[in-house]
Amino acid sequence: MTISINRRAFAKGFGGIVLAFTLDPALAQQQKQLPGSLNGNRLLDAWIRINSDGSATVFTGKVELGQGIVTALAQIAAEELDLPLARVRIVSGDTGRTPNEGQTAGSQSIENSGTALRLAAAEVRAILLGLAAAKLEAAADTLTVADGVINAPTGKTIGYGELSAAADLHREATATVRPKLAGQHKIVGQPIARFDIPGKVTGKASYVQDLRLPGMVHGRVVRPPRYGSTLEAVDEAKARAIPGVIAVVRDGSFLGVVAEREEQAVKARVALAESAKWRLGPELPDPANIFAHLKSLPTKVEVIGVKQAPLLAGAPKVLEATYTRPYMAHASIGPSAAVAEFKDDKLTVWTHSQGVFPLRAEISKTMKLPPASVRCIHTEGSGCYGHNGADDVALDAALLARAVPGKPVRLPWMRDDEFAWEPYGPAMSMQAKASLDGEGRIVDWNYEVWSNSHSTRPESTTGANVLAAWYLAEPGKMGPPTSPPQPAGGGDRNSIPLYDFPNQRVVHHFIQDMPIRVSALRTLGAYANVFAAESFMDELALAAGADPVAFRLAHMKDPRARAVIEKVAQLAGWKAGEKGDGTRGRGIGFAKYKNLACYVAVVAEVEIDRKEGNVCVCRAWCATDAGLVINPDGLIGQIEGGIIQSASWTLHEEVKFSTQGILSRDWSNYPILTMPEAPQIAISLINRPTERSLGAGEGSQGPTVAAIANAFVNATGKRIRDLPFHPERVKAALA
Q: Which amino acid is at 156?
A: K
Query: Once rounded to an integer, what is the mean pLDDT over residues 342-356?
Result: 97
Distance CA 86, CA 74 (A): 10
Distance CA 90, CA 73 (A): 8
Q: What is the pLDDT of residues 410-420, one digit of tens each?
A: 999 999 999 99
Q: What is the pLDDT of residue 30?
A: 60
Distance CA 644, CA 618 (A): 11
Q: What is the pLDDT of residue 8?
A: 31
Phi, psi of 140 (to 5 degrees): -60, -35
- CA triple 482-486-491, angle to 5 deg: 55
- From the number of C-beta atoms within 10 Å of its C-beta (0-12, 13-18, 19+), residue 53 rates as exposed
Classify the C-alpha dihedral 196-458-703-324 as positive or negative: positive
Among 10-14, 366-370, 433-437, 521-525, which stretch is predicted with the lowest mean pLDDT? 10-14
Indicate the pLDDT class of residue 546, thresholds 50, 70 and 90. Answer: very high
Sorted by sequence, the CB contacts under 8 Å of residue 321 that are 6+ apart come out as: 431, 432, 532, 535, 536, 539, 721
Given a cut of 50, whether residue 593 has pLDDT beyond it is yes
- CA triple 627-632-638, angle to 5 deg: 90
Q: What is the pLDDT of residue 5?
A: 31
Q: What is the pLDDT of residues 504-534, one digit of tens each?
A: 999 999 999 999 999 999 999 999 999 999 9
- Tell me which residue of 395, 394, 406, 327 sits closest to 367, measured CA to CA: 395
Distance CA 388, CA 618 (A): 30
Query: Once rounded to an integer, what is the mean pLDDT over residues 307-317?
Result: 81
Given a cut of 80, whether residue 18 has pLDDT beyond it is no
Query: Once rounded to an integer, what is the mean pLDDT over residues 150-171?
Result: 96
Q: Which amino acid is at 532?
A: A
Cα 450 → chain centroid: 22
Sorted by sequence, the CB contacts under 8 Å of residue 598 that are 6+ apart come out as: 107, 592, 624, 625, 626, 627, 694, 695, 696, 699
pLDDT > 70: percent of the chain:
96
- Tell me which residue of 102, 85, 109, 56 sits closest to 194, measured CA to CA: 85
Written as one string, the DSSP assignment of 425-480 is: BPPEEEEEEEEE-TTS-EEEEEEEEEE--S---TTSSSB--SGGGGGSSS---B--
Sorted by sequence, the CB contacts under 8 Å of residue 489 that are 6+ apart come out as: 483, 495, 508, 524, 525, 594
- From the number of C-beta atoms within 10 Å of its C-beta (0-12, 13-18, 19+), residue 386 rates as buried
Q: Which amino acid is at 466?
A: V
* H-helix or E-strand spanning residue 371: none
Q: What is the pLDDT of residue 206?
A: 86
Residues 336/418, Cβ–Cβ less than 8 Å: yes
Residues 411/337, Cβ–Cβ less than 8 Å: yes
SS (H, E, C) 95-148: CCCCCCCCCCCCCCHHHHHHHHHHHHHHHHHHHHHHHHHHHHCCCHHHCEEECC
Q: What is the pLDDT of residue 536?
A: 98
Given a cut of 70, whether residue 2 has pLDDT beyond it is no
Q: What is the pLDDT of residue 385?
A: 84
Mean pLDDT of the chain: 94
**pTM (two decimals):** 0.93
Given a cut of 50, whether residue 99 has pLDDT beyond it is yes
DSSP conformational letter for 226? S
Indicate the pLDDT class of residue 203, thresholds 50, 70 and 90. Answer: confident
Indicate the pLDDT class of residue 461, thresholds 50, 70 and 90. Answer: confident
Report the half-sphere exposure of 460 (CA within 13 A, side-chain side): 23
Among 6-15, 348-357, 515-524, which stretch is predicted with the lowest mean pLDDT? 6-15
Given a cut of 60, whether residue 16 has pLDDT beyond it is no
Query: Once rounded to an integer, what is the mean pLDDT over residues 484-512?
Result: 97
Distance CA 644, CA 532 (A): 19
Query: Once rounded to an integer, what is the mean pLDDT over residues 656-667?
Result: 97
Q: What is the pLDDT of residues 264-311, one digit of tens each?
A: 999 999 999 999 999 999 999 999 999 999 999 999 999 999 999 887
Distance CA 349, CA 261 (A): 20
Indicate the pLDDT class of residue 26, thresholds 50, 70 and 90. Answer: very low
Query: Once rounded to an integer, what is the mean pLDDT over residues 456-460?
Result: 92
- Tell me which residue of 189, 82, 64, 92 sits closest to 125, measured CA to CA: 82
Distance CA 339, CA 352 (A): 10
Distance CA 440, CA 442 (A): 7
Given a cut of 60, whether residue 727 has pLDDT beyond it is yes
Q: Which amino acid is at 178?
A: R
DSSP conformational letter for 154? T
Indicate the pLDDT class of residue 19, thresholds 50, 70 and 90. Answer: very low
Q: What is the pLDDT of residue 400?
A: 98
- Tell me which residue of 678, 717, 706 sits closest to 587, measured CA to CA: 706
Classify the C-alpha dihedral 379-384-388-393 as positive or negative: negative
Query: Once rounded to an integer, what is the mean pLDDT over residues 339-350?
Result: 98
Q: What is the pLDDT of residue 6?
A: 35
**Dihedral (Cα; 654, 655, 656, 661), 10-degree rounding:** -170
Neighbours of 498 (CB within 10 A): 16
SS3 label, residue 94:
strand
Cα 639 → chain centroid: 13
- From the number of C-beta atoms within 10 Å of its C-beta (0-12, 13-18, 19+), residue 399 rates as buried
* H-helix or E-strand spanning residue 634: helix 632-651
Query: Once rounded to an integer, what is the mean pLDDT over residues 356-384?
Result: 95
- Tell me which residue of 445, 434, 422, 438 sits closest to 521, measured CA to CA: 422
Residues 356/63, Cβ–Cβ less than 8 Å: yes
Residues 305/258, Cβ–Cβ less than 8 Å: no
| Domains and their CATH numbers in the chain | 2-198 (3.30.365.10), 208-280+330-421 (3.30.365.10), 428-454+490-734 (3.30.365.10)
Given a cut of 80, whether residue 21 has pLDDT beyond it is no
Neighbours of 691 (CB within 10 A): 13
SS3 label, residue 328:
strand
Q: What is the pLDDT of residue 28?
A: 43
Distance CA 445, CA 496 (A): 10
Given a cut of 50, whether residue 663 has pLDDT beyond it is yes
